[in-house]
Structure 1
Amino acid sequence: MKLKYWLMVAFLIVMLLPVAAGWALFSLYNYYENQRSVAEYVELSERLAPIEQVLDDPALYQLQSSEHHLNLSKLANEQVSFNLYLPSGIRVFTSGGDAWKTSGYTIRSSELYRNLYQLQIRHRTFSLKKPVWHQGELAGIYEITMLRQDWLDGISIRTTWVISGAVLFFVLLYGTVLWLLSRKLISPMKVLMNRMHTFARGEEPGDIGGTIRRDEMGTLLQQFDAMQQTIRQTHMEVEKQQKEKEMIVASLSHDLKTPLMSISAYAEALSMDVRSERLERQEYKEVIARNVERMKQMIGELEMYTALGSEDSELAMVEVEGGEFFEMLLGSYRELAEREKLNMQMSVRTNHFYRVHPESMMRLTDNLVHNALRYTPPKGKIGLAVIDSLEELPEWIDLSLRAELDMYRSGMTIIVVQNEGSAIPAEQLERIFEPYVQYQNQEILRFAGGSGLGLSIARRIALKHGGDIRMWSSEKQGTAAVCRLLELENGDDPQTLSKKG
């Protein structure tokens, strides 16, 4: 139950319970009194019978009949008293005093004749009024009053029970309310506070345990756990980015140190050795220029990597026809393969349109191709392909890789760059797309070269295009870098896309 509804119901119950308890106590009191009254009435009837028999004598109801009243006082005691009245309301006798002194007292007729024959039960007494008849005429009325001694003796006991019951009820009600508040509010709040303190100390909060609450406190606990999980993930991401930045700075500093030292050395040689041959001085200048160009390339790649990682950076996408665009893009590498004396196989099989940033896409393929060139042995083979989701894979792709590629390219187009060469170890393959992580060639015990950001830039470009990039490597098939791209629609009808634009 929601906490607000639970509180509303709890407050209503707390308000109604005392009323219900009071009503129950009152009903119990009335029931006890009625039962007690019946028992007392039976007992009273037996005690009143001889008194009524004496008081039923018409001769007692005369003003000047004191001789008939002499024995009446013997019927009265501390618990029983009675009065005799004439039909006119004049009291002719009372058991509480001298008849001559009290005979002048008169009671109103309306009060005298009220409740005749009815036993009046009051808190302290019973009273009964009955008329006395003589030869068909009303001779007088007697009123008998009996003290409820047993009832009065039990008042203190009943009062003690009532007070004890009320106190017990209050304690139970108060304890129940405290227990429910503790269970519903205080305990969850303590759990939340403990988890907040644990989180503030940087410790793992652990599992909540027990049944997941469905009220607001349960929601609050779940939201706090989700929040701290998000904060921890964000903190881990920040730490990861910080370490990445530190590694980039360290790697870049290391990579820049070599060309800078070379530039410094050759510049010093140019400034000090005035006797150098002109050809030799020109060679020094060319070395300096190459190192400067290398440094500019490193800095440019770092700028691109940083820009692609920014959430605010957006690439200006355009829609292209896949077949024409990728034919032009991959065709530019034929001359490069011939110059490196490598055998290149190329296949473009797509009829789809794509939304791409042409310069970034050229940079992606350029990084993948140059990375493949560095690994490919002399006179080795390189395969380039762009295959949409409906076309068959090229024949030169190894059979053992086809099943995985079919699953990977489900509903998307893939760009494949495959090369022969030694396999990249699995532990290096997992981190190959991280910045400044390069494959170390175990045969010659050195890194393949490059800035170390090429594959990282390629991956960020793929992500910016809504795709992804993976790499497979084995001794049998060599190494294959595969990037997948989103397909817009079938390109058989170019007018459809132009109308949408």
Structure 2
Amino acid sequence: MKLKYWLMIVFLIVMLLPVGAGWALFSLYDYYNDQRSVAEYVELSGRLGPIEQALSDPGLYRLQSADAYASLSGLASDQVNFDLYLPSGIRVYTSGGDPWSAGAYTVRGSELYRDLYDMQIRHRTFTLKKPVWEKGELVGIYEIVMLRGEWLEGISVRTTWVVGSAVIFFILLYGTVLWLLSRKLFRPMRQLMDRMHAFARGEVPMDDAPVRRDEMGTLLKQFDAMQEKVRQTQAEVEKEQKEKELMVASLSHDLKTPLMSISAYAEAIRMDTQLEPPERREYWDVLFGNVERMKRMIGELEMYTALGSGELEMAMVEVEGEEFFDMLLGSYGGLAEREQIDVKTVVRTDHLYRLHPEQLMRLTDNLMNNALRHTRANGAIGLGVIASDQPLPEWIIPTLDLELDKFRTGSTLILVQNEGPAIPEEQLDRIFEPYVQHQNQEGKAYAGSSGLGLSIAKRIAIRHGGEMRMWSAEGYGTIAACRLPEM
């Protein structure tokens, strides 16, 4: 339940419960009063009989001396009092006062004749009024008042019960409200504060709290998502920082060799004036070759950094797949012949694509150069572009059919497979990281590359909305697969 609706219902219940409890207590008190009144009336009815019989004497209802009422004095007590009235309202006798002053008190007719024959139950007394007749004429009215002794004696006990019940009800209501607020507000807020403190200390809190579906649950989820995002960002920043440190160290190491070679040959040219022209041209070729190598390394570093920063704007164009990839893959035939390697080219697509031609050529160049370096002389390289609705070529590693079909779902694959030695699993997991190169069995990395080729290729694939993976199998070689979205 939403927290706002829950609070509205709780506030309504808190407002109505005291009213309901008061009404229930009043009803219970009224019911008890009625039951007790009936019991007292039945108990006192036996005492009323003799008094009513004595007061029904018509001779008592006239103005006369107090001696005429001497017989009535024994009927009165501290529990029972009675008054005698003439029809005109004059009181002729009262058991609770001075008999000589009885005639000086007069009651109005409307008050005197009210509630005749009706037992009036009041908080402290029972009152009964009845008329007295003589030969069909009204001669007087008597009023009997009985004190409710037992009822009055229990007032203090009942008051204690009522006050105690009210206190217990208030404590239960207050405790229930506190428990509900703790369950709905205080406990989630404490969980949120604990998570905030743990996050500030760099700890990962153990989340064993039940799933909540109110606003506090949403807040906890959003905070967890926020701190997870912050942790991912921190991890990415740390990773990028390590990559930068690694790139600087690797670039410094890689530049050191051509720089030393340039320095040595430049010093030889400067110091040795007896060099023959062919030797001098050879020295100059070495110098310019090292300079070009350094320029190529710096260019690849710039490209890798630009692809990762997001500041490089790639102008995508729409191309017809079969025509574009026929032209692209056909350009590697001469290169393979020069290296004495057989290239098996397959293009199976009739889809349209949105891509950056120059960057896609760079991606394919990097994959082909990597395959050429790892393929033995007179070996073979498989090069293909296979759409999602076309069968895979026959030269791929047989054990990868299902995995490649799953990987290419809804996309076209650019495949480059060599026949070199298999890459160990522990190296395959990190092969796309910058400056990470496969090492041969002697522990030496393959030379001739900057270590950024596969990293650049993967970033180009990602910028095209795709992905890149690599598989390797002993006895077959290694295959690199780039997934390219289809229009």
TM-score between the two structures when normalised by the length of structure 2: 0.94
Tell whether 2:162 aligns with 1:130. Answer: no
Corresponding residue number in structure 2 for 1:146: 146
Cα 1:410–1:161, aligned 2, differ >3 Å: closer, same or farther? closer
Deviation at 1:421, TM superposition (A): 2.3
Cα 1:217–1:400, aligned 2, differ >3 Å: closer, same or farther? closer
Corresponding residue number in structure 1 for 2:292: 293
2:146 and 2:410 map into 1 onto residues whose CA distance is: 105
2:445 and 2:330 map into 1 onto residues whose CA distance is: 31
Say if 1:421 and 1:475, in contact at 8 Å, map to a contact too. Answer: no
Say if 1:84 and 1:140, in contact at 8 Å, map to a contact too. Answer: yes
Cα 1:127–1:393, aligned 2, differ >3 Å: closer, same or farther? closer
Q: Matches of residues 18-167 of structure 1 in structure 2 within 5 Å?
A: 18-167=18-167
Say if 2:397 and 2:473, in contact at 8 Å, map to a contact too. Answer: no
Corresponding residue number in structure 1 for 2:329: 330
Deviation at 1:32, TM superposition (A): 1.1
Deviation at 1:43, TM superposition (A): 2.1
Cα 1:259–1:197, aligned 2, differ >3 Å: closer, same or farther? same
1:443 and 1:382 map into 2 onto residues whose CA distance is: 24
1:404 and 1:92 map into 2 onto residues whose CA distance is: 120
Structure 1 portions without partners, runs of 5+: 489-501
2:101 and 2:320 map into 1 onto residues whose CA distance is: 134
Cα 1:138–1:444, aligned 2, differ >3 Å: closer, same or farther? closer
1:176 and 1:74 map into 2 onto residues whose CA distance is: 60
Partner-residue secondary structure (3-state), 1:245: helix
Deviations 1:229-261 (CA, angstroms, capped at 9, x unpaired): 222222222211221121111111111122222
Cα 1:467–1:75, aligned 2, differ >3 Å: closer, same or farther? same
Deviation at 1:435, TM superposition (A): 0.8
Corresponding residue number in structure 1 for 2:484: 485
2:2 and 2:358 map into 1 onto residues whose CA distance is: 57
In structure 2, give the amino acid aligned to 1:151.
W
In structure 2, give the amino acid aligned to 1:427.
E
2:101 and 2:257 map into 1 onto residues whose CA distance is: 141
Say if 1:59 and 1:65, in contact at 8 Å, map to a contact too. Answer: no
In structure 1, give the amino acid aligned to 2:20.
A
Partner-residue secondary structure (3-state), 1:128: strand
Corresponding residue number in structure 2 for 1:267: 266
Deviation at 1:350, TM superposition (A): 2.5
2:15 and 2:31 map into 1 onto residues whose CA distance is: 25
Cα 1:50–1:236, aligned 2, differ >3 Å: closer, same or farther? same
Deviation at 1:372, TM superposition (A): 1.4
Corresponding residue number in structure 1 for 2:314: 315
How many corresponding residue pairs?
487
Using the TM superposition, name which of 300-309 and 92-101 deviates more.
92-101
In structure 1, give the amino acid aligned to 2:220.
L
Q: Matches of residues 138-287 of structure 1 in structure 2 within 5 Å?
A: 138-209=138-209, 211-287=210-286
In structure 2, give the amino acid aligned to 1:142.
Y
Using the TM superposition, name which of 193-202 and 63-72 deviates more.
63-72
Cα 1:53–1:394, aligned 2, differ >3 Å: closer, same or farther? closer
Using the TM superposition, name which of 227-236 and 104-113 deviates more.
227-236
Cα 1:385–1:77, aligned 2, differ >3 Å: closer, same or farther? closer
1:372 and 1:67 map into 2 onto residues whose CA distance is: 143
Cα 1:484–1:184, aligned 2, differ >3 Å: closer, same or farther? closer
Say if 1:412 and 1:487, in contact at 8 Å, map to a contact too. Answer: yes
Tell whether 2:465 aligns with 1:466. Answer: yes
Deviation at 1:453, TM superposition (A): 0.4
Deviation at 1:278, TM superposition (A): 4.4
Deviation at 1:155, TM superposition (A): 1.0
1:329 and 1:307 map into 2 onto residues whose CA distance is: 24
Cα 1:398–1:111, aligned 2, differ >3 Å: closer, same or farther? closer
1:345 and 1:31 map into 2 onto residues whose CA distance is: 103
Cα 1:146–1:401, aligned 2, differ >3 Å: closer, same or farther? closer
Corresponding residue number in structure 2 for 1:496: none
Deviation at 1:395, TM superposition (A): 4.0
Cα 1:315–1:70, aligned 2, differ >3 Å: closer, same or farther? same
In structure 1, give the amino acid aligned to 2:336.
A
In structure 1, give the amino acid aligned to 2:418.
N
Say if 1:127 and 1:146, in contact at 8 Å, map to a contact too. Answer: yes
Deviations 1:356-397 (CA, angstroms, capped at 9, x unpaired): 211011101111111111112222222322222333444444
Deviations 1:373-425 (CA, angstroms, capped at 9, x unpaired): 11122222223222223334444445444454444334332222222222222
1:475 and 1:173 map into 2 onto residues whose CA distance is: 75
Partner-residue secondary structure (3-state), 2:73: helix
1:485 and 1:66 map into 2 onto residues whose CA distance is: 127
Say if 2:437 and 2:445, in contact at 8 Å, map to a contact too. Answer: no
In structure 2, give the amino acid aligned to 1:14.
V
Deviation at 1:166, TM superposition (A): 1.0
In structure 2, give the amino acid aligned to 1:433.
F
2:14 and 2:412 map into 1 onto residues whose CA distance is: 68
Partner-residue secondary structure (3-state), 1:300: helix
1:390 and 1:127 map into 2 onto residues whose CA distance is: 105
1:17 and 1:407 map into 2 onto residues whose CA distance is: 63
Deviation at 1:486, TM superposition (A): 2.1
1:401 and 1:448 map into 2 onto residues whose CA distance is: 29
Corresponding residue number in structure 2 for 1:411: 410
State, as a whole percentage, how many aligned pairs show the same letter: 70
1:69 and 1:114 map into 2 onto residues whose CA distance is: 25
TM-score between the two structures when normalised by the length of structure 1: 0.91
Partner-residue secondary structure (3-state), 1:469: strand
Deviations 1:271-329 (CA, angstroms, capped at 9, x unpaired): 44445444444433332222221111111111111111123433111111222212221
Cα 1:97–1:342, aligned 2, differ >3 Å: closer, same or farther? closer
In structure 2, give the amino acid aligned to 1:104.
A
2:401 and 2:134 map into 1 onto residues whose CA distance is: 131
Q: Aligned-pair RMSD on alpha carbons?
A: 2.1
Using the TM superposition, name which of 454-463 and 305-314 deviates more.
305-314
2:117 and 2:279 map into 1 onto residues whose CA distance is: 149
1:487 and 1:40 map into 2 onto residues whose CA distance is: 98
Say if 1:438 and 1:448, in contact at 8 Å, map to a contact too. Answer: no
Partner-residue secondary structure (3-state), 1:71: helix
Say if 1:59 and 1:68, in contact at 8 Å, map to a contact too. Answer: no
Corresponding residue number in structure 1 for 2:432: 433
